[in-house]
Every structure is written in C-alpha cells, then in structure tokens.
C-alpha cells in the first residue's frame, strides 16, 4: 500500500479516517488511548503543510440522525488539549469544508450520515470530494466496509495508509507471519463460541495456545472434569476436543489448568478457594486459573520468542480472582519476547497492573484485532492495496 509519509502533502486537503470511538461519560472522554495513538499522524500531516480534516465514528447512533450523546465534541476538546491547538468540530460538511493549511478540523460523527454503514456510494463520493488525499488510519475500524473506511478510499483522488495503520499492520505481521519462536498465544474471555475462529486459526500457527476464562472451562469439561456451576458451553465440548487433538498432532498443545480458583457466586465479596481441577464441587464456579497453573503458563511466556495476548484468564475485576491474569500479564511484561496485546478487557487488565510500557505493541483494535488474528482480510486495507496496484 502507499503510505502517507510517501506523499507530498504541502498545501493539500488531507482527510484522515481515525478510530476516535472512545468511551465518553458526562461529556468527558474517560479513556483516551485511541486519541493519543492518533496524534502522531495529525502532527505529521500538519508538519507536512496539509490542511487536516479528521473523521471518525463514535458509538452506534441511529443512522441519519444527530444525537448529542454521540457527538464528537468531547473528543475534539480532548484532542485539542493534547495537541495544544484548536481542533474545530464541523457539523455540516458534506457539501464542502473550508480548511486551511495548518488547521485541524474534526468532522462530526460519520454515523450521523445516512448510508455510512452500508457503504453508500453517493456518500462515499461526498467524503472523497472533500479532499485531495484520503488517509486511512483507523486500524480499529478497518474490519468494517463502510463509506468512511472503504467507499471513500475508492473515490478519493489519492488514498493511502496512515502511520498508525501501517504500524499496527507491521506489528501484527511480525507477530503472526514472521514470528520469532516459540510463538505463544493466550486467548481468554468468556466464550469459546465468540472466539472459535480465532482459536482455530491461531492453533495452526502457534507453538502453544493458552486458553483462559470461560473458554478454559469448556476445555476442562472436554477433558472429562466436572465444572460445577461454571460458565461453559456444552455444545462446544467436542469442538474443544478436536482443537486439542489437532494441536497435539502438530506437536503443540493446548494445556488445561491443573488447579483453579473457585467461588460460590459471581460477586465481589464471594470467598475464593483454590482446588485441583478434578476436585471442583457441583456448586462451585471457576473464576480463575490456580497459582500452580499460572506459574506453569508464566514459565512458557518467559521462554517465548513471540507472545500474542487477547483476553484475561480470570475475573480480574474481583481481586480474589485476579491472580492468574496478573501473573500472566507480569510474565509477559518481564519476557524478552516480542509481545502484542489487544482487545478491550485485555487493555483494562494492562492498565490495572501498569504493564503498558513493557509490552512491545498494544493494538488500538478490538474487533479488528480479532479479525486479524482470525486471518481475515480487513476490507479497508484491501481497498488500499487495490488502489496501490492502480
Ligand atoms: C471498535 O471499537 O471496535 C471500533 O471502533 C468499531 O466499532 P463498531 O463495532 O461500532 O463498528
């Protein structure tokens, strides 16, 4: 693909699609990781002499309607503070924007425009007409073929990948396509069903696949152990067995916890108890891997060449069930491996244990990160590849 940094932007109208879909509460941005990640691109475009227009979605508003609740106003204000210059929010822009070099304009939530989500061609052409150069920099939304991510790239005079998108693709490619081995992946989270394709595609490339959270419960059941009242998916037990056998056949493995930490109910105050995996009672709920299991997994992480992390291995929001996630997070941070992490809950765990500085790359993608792990083509990237071919 063509990169933004390869183009001459002097005096040109540059439209950057970013993923500024951040949590907002009471008119304030509550987590600004995605905004901070987008600043370098804005600064580079400004330094190159461009008139900079940014666009993003926020939330999932009723399409075609303005709503105060999903306005990008708090984002414009927050970004202005971080950049130390005004970020002007423009609400009516489809028929043209007066943008001057040196200025930063944020176009209001693209999902207020009818046709955005269905990649409407007329809307995409309107976006394209605003600019000389379209820069796709929203890795977090690259799995969506929508007018502001995909359609616009078809019709803009020039279309290229922004620095953040390029960096994300490079980091993910390094982890999955040319990894230093052993490659160890941790997939946590509540359900096998939502991560089945991720598990399948990772099990083909990794040397070890560590499963945690509710996902691990289904694997524990697949080994013939009782899981009491734990969250697990009976209809995916056979699928889990098949994944374990397939991993074994290619010399890898999907280990199952040897001990677990259980409680009697899902609550912050329920007492925790650690048990051998074959001693789970009928009224127990498994909420974390046990310390022995965490130590075994941590050892594998310390010796890894590359680590891919998606999903906590326990209910880390409750401190008595946070031990596994904390121990694995710290092992990743201490490891010399090239480590990459992504997904909302994973980022929350990284924040909670202050691991961010010691992880090689933290993706800004949630759904997009998972689709990349699944080996899917991201449509907003595919269109840039097509355009680059001419
Ligand atoms: C995300 O937060 O994963 C992206 O911004 C995409 O948002 P969406 O799932 O509403 O398309």
Q: What is the pLDDT of residue 212?
A: 96
Q: What is the pLDDT of residue 192?
A: 87
Pick the CATH number of 181-336 from 3.40.50.2300, 3.10.20.600, 1.10.246.90, 3.40.50.1260: 3.40.50.1260
If phi over 0 gives left and psi between -120 and 50 gives alpha, with beta otherwise, what is residue 214? Answer: alpha
Residues 21, 28: Cα–Cα separation, whole Å: 13
Tally Cβ neighbours within 10 Å of residue 101. 16
What's the pTM? 0.91
ipTM exceeding the 0.95 mark: yes
265 CA distance to ligand 1 middle (Å): 32
CATH of domain 4-162+378-389: 3.40.50.1260
147 CA distance to ligand 1 middle (Å): 14
Residues 75, 52: Cα–Cα separation, whole Å: 16
Q: Is 144 annotated as a binding residue?
A: yes
Mutate to test the pocket of ligand 1, among 18, 20, 21 (most ligand atoms within 8 A of CB): 21
139 CA distance to ligand 1 middle (Å): 10
Place of tokens 């074959």: 278
Atom of ligand 1 nearest to the CA of 146: 11
Length of the chain: 390
End-to-end CA distance of the chain: 11
Q: Is 317 annotated as a binding residue?
A: yes
Q: Is 113 annotated as a binding residue?
A: no
**Looking at the annotation, which residues are catalytic?**
34, 191, 344, 367
Q: What is the pLDDT of residues 256-284, one digit of tens each?
A: 999 999 999 999 999 999 999 999 999 99
Both tokens of 273, joined, read 């108890």
Atom of ligand 1 nearest to the CA of 365: 3
Q: What is the pLDDT of residues 151-207, one digit of tens each?
A: 999 999 999 999 999 999 999 999 999 999 999 999 999 888 889 899 999 998 899
Atom of ligand 1 nearest to the CA of 19: 5
Which of the residues in the chain have pLDDT under 50?
A: none
Ligand 1 pocket, Cβ-based, cut-off 6 angstroms = 19, 21, 60, 140-141, 144, 366-367
Q: Is 132 annotated as a binding residue?
A: no
Q: What is the pLDDT of residue 100?
A: 94
Q: What is the pLDDT of residue 10?
A: 97
Domain pair 4-162+378-389 / 181-336, same fold: yes
151 Cβ neighbours under 8 A, 6+ residues apart: 119, 120, 121, 123, 124, 125, 127, 145
- Annotated domain spans of the chain: 4-162+378-389, 181-336
242 CA distance to ligand 1 middle (Å): 31
């Amino acid at each position: 693909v063509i990169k933004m940094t390869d183009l001459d932007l002097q005096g040109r109208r540059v439209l950057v699609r970013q993923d500024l879909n951040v949590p907002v509460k009471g008119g304030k941005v509550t987590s600004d990781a995605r905004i901070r990640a987008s600043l370098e691109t804005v600064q580079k475009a400004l330094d190159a002499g461009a008139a900079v227009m940014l666009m993003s979605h926020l939330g999932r508003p009723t399409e075609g309607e303005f709503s105060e609740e999903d306005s990008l106003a708090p984002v414009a204000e927050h970004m202005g503070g971080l950049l130390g210059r005004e970020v002007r929010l423009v609400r009516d822009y489809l028929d043209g924007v007066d943008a001057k070099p040196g200025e930063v304009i944020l176009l209001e939530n693209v999902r207020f425009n009818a046709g955005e989500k269905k990649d409407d061609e007329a809307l995409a052409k309107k976006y394209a007409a605003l600019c000389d150069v379209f820069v796709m920099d929203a890795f977090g939304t690259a799995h969506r073929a929508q007018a502001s991510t995909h359609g616009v790239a078809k019709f803009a005079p020039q279309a290229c990948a922004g620095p953040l998108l390029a960096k994300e693709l490079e980091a993910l490619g390094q982890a999955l396509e040319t990894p230093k081995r052993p490659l160890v992946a941790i997939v946590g989270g509540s359900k096998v069903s939502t991560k089945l394709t991720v598990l399948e595609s990772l099990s083909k490339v990794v040397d070890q696949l560590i499963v945690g959270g509710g996902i691990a419960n289904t694997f524990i059941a697949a080994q013939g152990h009782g899981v009491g009242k734990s969250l697990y998916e009976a209809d995916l037990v056979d699928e889990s067995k098949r994944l374990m056998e397939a991993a074994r056949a290619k010399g890898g493995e999907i280990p199952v916890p040897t001990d677990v930490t259980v409680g009697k109910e899902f609550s912050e105050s329920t007492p925790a108890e650690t048990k051998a995996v074959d001693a789970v009672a009928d009224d127990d709920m498994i909420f974390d891997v046990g310390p022995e299991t965490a130590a075994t997994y941590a050892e594998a992480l310390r010796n890894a060449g590359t680590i891919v992390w998606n999903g906590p291995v326990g209910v880390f929001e409750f401190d008595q069930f946070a031990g596994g996630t904390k121990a694995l997070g710290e092992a990743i941070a201490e490891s010399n491996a090239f480590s990459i992490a992504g997904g909302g809950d994973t980022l929350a765990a990284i924040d909670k244990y202050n691991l961010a500085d010691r992880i090689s790359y933290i993706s800004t993608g949630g759904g997009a990160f998972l689709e990349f792990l699944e080996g899917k083509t991201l449509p907003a990237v595919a269109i840039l590849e097509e355009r680059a071919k001419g």
